[in-house]
Amino acid sequence: MRKCILSCFACFFFWSVFAQADKNVPTIYVDKQGVMRWSDTKQEASFFGVNYTTPFAHAYRALQYKGIDHKEAIDRDVYHLVRLGFNAYRIHIWDVEISDGEGNLLENEHLELLDYLLFRLREKGIRILITAMTNFGNGYPERNIQTGGFSYLYDKCQVHANPQAIAAQKRYITDLLRHVNPHTGLAYQDDPYVVGFEINNEPCHTGAVSTTEHYIREMLAAMKKAGNKKPVFYNVSHNMEHVPAYFKADVQGTTYQWYPIGLVAGKERKGNFLPYVDRYVIPFANEKGFANKAKAVYEYDPADILYSYIHPAMSRTFRSNGFQWITQFAYDPLDIAAYNTEYQTHYLNLAYTPAKAISMMIAAETAYRIPRNASFPMYPKDTLYGDFMLSYEQDLAVMNVDTAFYYTNNTRLHPKSVQTLKKIAGHGSSPVVTYAGSGAYFLDKLTEGVWRLEVMPDAETVSDPFAKPSLSREVVQILWSENKMEIGLPDLGENFVWKQLAPESLSRGQADGTAITVTPGVYILGRKDQSTLSEWNNSRIWNHYSLGHFIAPAASEKRAPTVVHEPARYQEKDSDLAISLHVVSVVTPDSVIVQTDKVSFWRDDNTYIKLDNKEGYRYVGRIPESMLQGDRVRYTATVYVGGEKYTFPQGISGAPLDWDAAIDTYWTTEIVDRTEPIVLVQSLTAQPEWETYAIPETAHSRVRKIQRDPMTAPMWSYTFTGQDSDTKFFWLRDIKQVIAERKYKIDEVKSLIVSVGNQSFGGEIQIGFVSNMGYTYAATVELEKDSPQQVLRIPLEALSLVPTALLPAPYPTFLERYFVPVTPIPFGVRDCEKLIISTEGAIDRDATITIGAIWME
């Protein structure tokens, strides 16, 4: 009994301290002009961060499968969110996991983990937007697990109209708002770090607009009765016919999404997507009530890409539209990020996607530094904005201010003021830091002549992260390698001293000039006149944590090497074939050898090429022209490491010249004469080489292979369905690699030749290219209906600048589907990255277009 009384007293004291402290914590309110402001200073607020879902659904289960403590996982991830400088967190709660069939809130492990997560976030000063319900299952990417929650009892598109469903939602949201977090002693609706509440995630409103109005009124009344005084947000980027109901509602804020290049491609997408994120035009901006609602981005992500140039561009565009809350979807938990199973189409984690993570850091600074409603010129002029720079060609984003220098990849850009720098965040090398590793790193000035260095382990992509996910398929490997780092900071000078704080605190030494050798961890660096660094130890608190706090994943368990290589499709005769391999190995290989399929165990004169380690994990060499005989070359790479040998692409132990080797898989490159046409699309493949789209995307096309007789090449025939009179169909093909490989022939080509077959479509089509600037150049040609096979010859000089179709479709669907350039750029054939064909004019239902080979000559 005495222990119980003391425990209760401790809790009361703890909560009292929290409550007293919370009286001094500024909160957020929305003024009459729809601007989110701080309660103390009345200044505008700006938030940037992520969604993160460890307490629920697949993330919860996957950690459970791996035997990982959820709270420890949360602690690890929260540290990295702080490290990246985020001040915002949003979650859509899986109500099916914390409610029963009547809408009663369940006190279970999911709710306890949410309480713990919110507690840890508020400890670090991160603000929170809670979306109370998802109204769908908890399975993805697995099957749903039946929990008895009320959302499982109703269709998502009927949950807002059914009286029983509305009653359950009112009961649930009342309980949620009043729920007291045991770690803070505060109800969610009373926590000053909770900015506000969104009622539900992406509601599906059908039927009468009045039904939607009624639903929102009912939910708002329930929230008010519960005692809520915080801003309430509602999603307005879905169900466009219901927009009037949203803005009639007495909500303080509205929420939006942005997925500019679609979702779930099943593969990594490549290209320049800056034109896709140049503008975010809201077509209902003149709707009555629009102007006095705060605007929040509940979810956004340039999905299915590993690029680092695009996040800041999206943040810039959001700020130009007045958004004050921007949260990406979704940050991968560190402990399962190696597999990217949570959301196949999204991939973000500081350790596993370091360039993207630094990009997010720059995007956050964009949100904090760029004024709300700032205007920018149209792309490409907006790739330089304020103190920021973006480059698709370099896959680079940079923030360069007097006190901070952040960059996502190798850059030659110099800091604005190296003498006044206080923060560096980087991936790759720059004029102030030269680094051979592939992880992110951070330099923070502690005082004059003393810096904190944090180095993440190397992260090497070994498989397409956006392909079908599995907890047994590692897509990025982590290596705790030793790497050289040169640090050119005047504040440190040469021969600076250093000591390591984490993961161990035994190492210390002195730089060789400006160079040190580092492994992952935290270091303290001091000028050589700093005879001792003893006062800088783990007893000091820095950025909410002990000075040496360090979180990083363990090295990948795979001991055998992995080779990542994309062979050239074509190699022109009379020149060597350049080879570049990424050899990911825990132990540095003794050698990497390339051999062709011409070697034989029974010969003594077998040739080989030994590759050179260029930098990091990249090995390069050249197969000489003398070995490129015939119409193709097939080759392997053997990695010799630690007394073992492994041959790729087959991925087996052994070497091609072993007596018992069974090598039957090779990389293959076609050898072509320099005068041969440049083949862009073949029709002999098992599957068509095109990606197909339609605008609007409600229309579709079906494809089948046709061949008139054995002596003619097959062709691909496309039949259209579901189109309206203004529907356009598109064929898109990535040709960047082919253009780069035909470096001698490319300057001689004059025409694009397209083979088309017998078809029931007659009319105009556009054919052309998308450049590395994201510009489209095309010509219009006429197809003859029911004609025999045609060969269309289009002079390249006939191509002209046309709007770029944004393919695949962006979400939300109200966004523009074309980018219209205002800055003309001349066409250059070397700049071509994609081949594009589109229909023009009305298309009869079930009409067909048949496409064969396409080449340039």
Q: Residue 837 in contact with residue 851, Cβ under 8 Å?
A: yes
Residues written for the chain: 857
CB atoms under 10 Å from CB of 288, counted, come to 10
Per-residue confidence at 707, pLDDT binned at 50, 70, 90? confident
Per-residue confidence at 684, pLDDT binned at 50, 70, 90? confident
Q: Write the CB contacts of 545 (distance below 8 Å, at least 6 apart in sequence).
A: 79, 82
3-state helix, strand, coil in the chain (%, to 5): 20, 30, 50
Q: Which helix (H) or strand (E) holds 218?
A: helix 209-226
CB atoms under 10 Å from CB of 565, counted, come to 16
Considering only residues 762 and 401, tell me which one the structure prediction assigns the higher pLDDT.
Answer: 401
Cα 468 to Cα 44, 142, 463, 471, 808, distances in angstroms: 43, 12, 11, 10, 19
Arithmetic mean of pLDDT, 561-573: 97
Q: Write the CB contacts of 634 (distance below 8 Å, at least 6 apart in sequence).
A: 596, 597, 666, 667, 668
Q: Write the CB contacts of 764 (distance below 8 Å, at least 6 apart in sequence).
A: 780, 781, 782, 783, 839, 840, 841
**Strands 458-461 vs 441-447: parallel, antiparallel or unpaired:** unpaired
* CA 721/CA 617 separation, integer angstroms: 49
Q: Which residues pair with 327 in a beta bridge?
A: 49
Question: Which range among 21-30, 223-232, 385-394, 824-833 shows the weakest confidence by mean pLDDT?
Answer: 21-30
Percent of the chain with pLDDT over 70: 97
Cis preceding linkage at 649, omega within 30: yes
* CA 794/CA 767 separation, integer angstroms: 8
Q: Mind spelling out the 3-state secondary structure of 235-296?
A: ECCCCHHHHHHHHHCCCCEEEEEEECCCCCCCCCCCCCCHHHHCCCCCCCCCCCCHHHCEEE
* CA 134/CA 469 separation, integer angstroms: 23
What Rg do the C-alpha atoms of the chain give, in angstroms?
29
Question: Which range among 140-154, 818-832, 833-847 shows the weakest confidence by mean pLDDT?
Answer: 833-847
User: pLDDT for 213-240, tens place per residue?
Assistant: 999 999 999 999 999 999 999 999 999 9
Q: Is the pLDDT of residue 17 over 70?
A: no
* CA 247/CA 249 separation, integer angstroms: 5
* CA 59/CA 43 separation, integer angstroms: 37
Relative orientation angle of helices 57-65 and 70-83, to the nearest 10 degrees: 120
Q: How high is the pLDDT of residue 414?
A: 98
| Average predicted confidence (pLDDT) for the chain | 95
CB atoms under 10 Å from CB of 341, counted, come to 22
User: pLDDT for 237-276, tens place per residue?
Assistant: 999 999 999 999 999 999 999 999 999 999 999 999 999 9
Q: Which residues pair with 325 in a beta bridge?
A: 47, 296
Q: Which of 731, 687, 724 is nearest to 705 (CA)?
A: 687
Domain 562-672: state its class: mainly beta
User: pLDDT for 642-683, tens place per residue?
Assistant: 999 999 999 999 999 999 999 999 999 999 999 999 999 998
CB atoms under 10 Å from CB of 517, counted, come to 12
Diameter over CA atoms, the chain: 96
* CA 298/CA 549 separation, integer angstroms: 31
* CA 332/CA 352 separation, integer angstroms: 9
Q: Which amino acid is at 286?
A: N
**Local structure of 709: helix, strand or coil:** coil
* CA 489/CA 24 separation, integer angstroms: 40
* CA 299/CA 201 separation, integer angstroms: 10
Q: How high is the pLDDT of residue 757?
A: 86
Q: CA quadruple 90, 94, 100, 106: dihedral positive or negative?
A: negative
CATH architecture of 45-383: Alpha-Beta Barrel (3.20)
User: pLDDT for 26-57, tens place per residue?
Assistant: 999 999 999 999 999 999 999 999 999 999 99
* CA 113/CA 399 separation, integer angstroms: 35
DSSP alpha helices (H): ranges in 523-600?
none
What is the separation of C-alpha 169 from the centre of its chain, rounded to a whole number of angstroms? 33
Q: Residue 347 in contact with residue 355, Cβ under 8 Å?
A: no
User: pLDDT for 314-357, tens place per residue?
Assistant: 999 999 999 999 999 999 999 999 999 999 999 999 999 999 99
* CA 404/CA 299 separation, integer angstroms: 28
Q: E-assigned strands of 5-56?
A: 28-30, 36-38, 47-51
Cis preceding linkage at 696, omega within 30: yes
Q: How high is the pLDDT of residue 712?
A: 80
Cα 658 to Cα 113, 599, 600, 661, distances in angstroms: 55, 11, 9, 5
Question: Which range among 387-391, 530-534, 766-770, 843-847 shows the weakest confidence by mean pLDDT?
Answer: 530-534
Arithmetic mean of pLDDT, 805-818: 96
Q: Residue 34 in contact with residue 293, Cβ under 8 Å?
A: yes
Enter the CATH code of domain 678-856: 2.60.120.430
Q: Among all chains, which residue has been given the structure tokens 């961060």?
A: 49
Q: Write the CB contacts of 523 (distance below 8 Å, at least 6 apart in sequence).
A: 452, 453, 454, 455, 498, 499, 500, 501, 516
Q: Is the pLDDT of residue 99 over 70?
A: yes
The DSSP secondary structure of 718-780, one letter per residue, reads EEEES--TT-EEEEEEE-HHHHHH-TTTGGG--EEEEEE---S--EEEEEEEEETTS-EEEEE
CA angle 699, 703, 707 (to 5 degrees): 150
Contacts 24+ apart (CB under 8 A), 621-625: 621/578, 621/579, 621/594, 622/576, 622/577, 622/578, 622/579, 623/576, 623/577, 623/579, 623/594, 623/596, 624/576, 625/573, 625/574, 625/575, 625/576
User: In this structure, what token pair is assigned to residue 175?
Assistant: 């309980």
Q: CA quadruple 444, 333, 95, 301: dihedral positive or negative?
A: positive
* CA 533/CA 507 separation, integer angstroms: 12
Exposed, middle or buried, 563 (CB in 10 Å: 0-12/13-18/19+)?
buried
Q: Which of 330, 248, 257, 258 is nearest to 289 (CA)?
A: 248
Q: How high is the pLDDT of residue 820?
A: 97
**Domain assignments of the chain as residue spans, ordered by start:** 45-383, 386-546, 562-672, 678-856
Q: Is the pLDDT of residue 479 over 50?
A: yes
Q: Residue 383 in contact with residue 390, Cβ under 8 Å?
A: yes
Cα 593 to Cα 332, 585, 622, distances in angstroms: 37, 15, 11
Arithmetic mean of pLDDT, 559-577: 96
Q: Residue 465 in contact with residue 479, Cβ under 8 Å?
A: no
Per-residue confidence at 3, pLDDT binned at 50, 70, 90? very low
What is the separation of C-alpha 300 from the centre of its chain, rounded to a whole number of angstroms? 10
Q: Say what the alpha-carbon torsion angle 79, 81, 87, 92 is, to the nearest 10 degrees.
A: -110
User: In this structure, what token pair is assigned to residue 60?
Assistant: 């919860």
The DSSP secondary structure of 44-74, one letter per residue, reads BP-EEEEE--TTSHHHHHHHHHTT--HHHHH
Cα 636 to Cα 525, 648, 672, distances in angstroms: 45, 6, 20
CA angle 167, 171, 174 (to 5 degrees): 135
In CATH terms, are 45-383 and 678-856 the same topology?
no
Q: Write the CB contacts of 183 (distance below 8 Å, at least 6 apart in sequence).
A: 115, 116, 118, 119
Percent of the chain with pLDDT over 90: 90
* Predicted structure pTM score: 0.96
Per-residue confidence at 752, pLDDT binned at 50, 70, 90? very high
